Chain A
Amino acid sequence: AQSVTQPDIHITVSEGASLELRCNYSYGATPYLFWYVQSPGQGLQLLLKYFSGDTLVQGIKGFEAEFKRSQSSFNLRKPSVHWSDAAEYFCAVGAARSGNTGKLIFGQGTTLQVKP
């Protein structure tokens, strides 16, 4: 079955510290991969996406992610976290073969708390 796993439900980091959010997927075909961020009561904002090519992708707000096909992972990283990064983060996968970038399977989400 197709699925996305975000092993960490809740993470707390200190402001200025580095961050890595994990994402593993199970997908039978070549995937499109995404990270979205959601603030309380709000919709989803795209941080970055992987369609093809370079497996290290850069996104907005200083985030990056690396696609590792052999590990079925797409971990999100940021070298220095800001208090405004506190939010919920979702990893999502779509089918590259279908070209449908909007029909996605989402992980359960990781809530990031930032300590001053």
Chain B
Amino acid sequence: DTGVSQDPRHKITKRGQNVTFRCDPISEHNRLYWYRQTLGQGPEFLTYFQNEAQLEKSRLLSDRFSAERPKGSFSTLEIQRTEQGDSAMYLCASSLLQGRMNTEAFFGQGTRLTVV
């Protein structure tokens, strides 16, 4: 297993365009998280899934953002009508919940989005 994988690593887009990022978690992990990290700041929680169910969304996740995890495996994060303020690193993480035991979260290398 190669860990959490994110694609693409870098994305440059024009303002107003839609973008979609993909995250492949560690294969047996049933929880998946999305974070956003702007320059000089720590990551901020956006949303998380348990299997295919989206259990929580941060108020940072505006209507232009949508995340899916259709089969409980990989996840996509789509940003519609991108704005310059969306420029950031988007990080994905996964963890395994078994009963009451939850492993720590393992992070991917992120997708760097630049909106021009």
Contacts and interface: CB of A to CB of B under 8 A. Distances in A.
Task: Please tell me the size bucket of the interface on A.
Answer: 20 to 34
Given A100-B102, A108-B40, 4 more contacts: A46-B105, A101-B105, A102-B105, A109-B42
Interface of A: 4, 34, 36, 41-46, 49, 90, 92, 99-109
Given A104-B45, A106-B43, A36 B107 contact: yes
B102 A101 contact: yes
A43 to B, nearest CB: 4
A99 B105 CA distance: 12
B44 interface: yes
A101 B108 CA distance: 16
Interface residues of B, number: 28
Most buried by A among B42, B44, B104: B42
A36 B95 CA distance: 15
Interface of B: 4, 6, 31, 33, 40-45, 48, 56, 91, 93-95, 97, 100, 102-110, 112
Nearest first, the 8 A-B pairs at minimum CB distance are A106-B42, A102-B105, A44-B107, A43-B109, A43-B107, A102-B33, A102-B95, A101-B102
Contacts of B107: 36, 43-45
Contact of A44 (B6, B43, B56): B43
A102 B110 contact: no
A43 B40 CA distance: 14
Most buried by A among B91, B97, B104, B107: B104
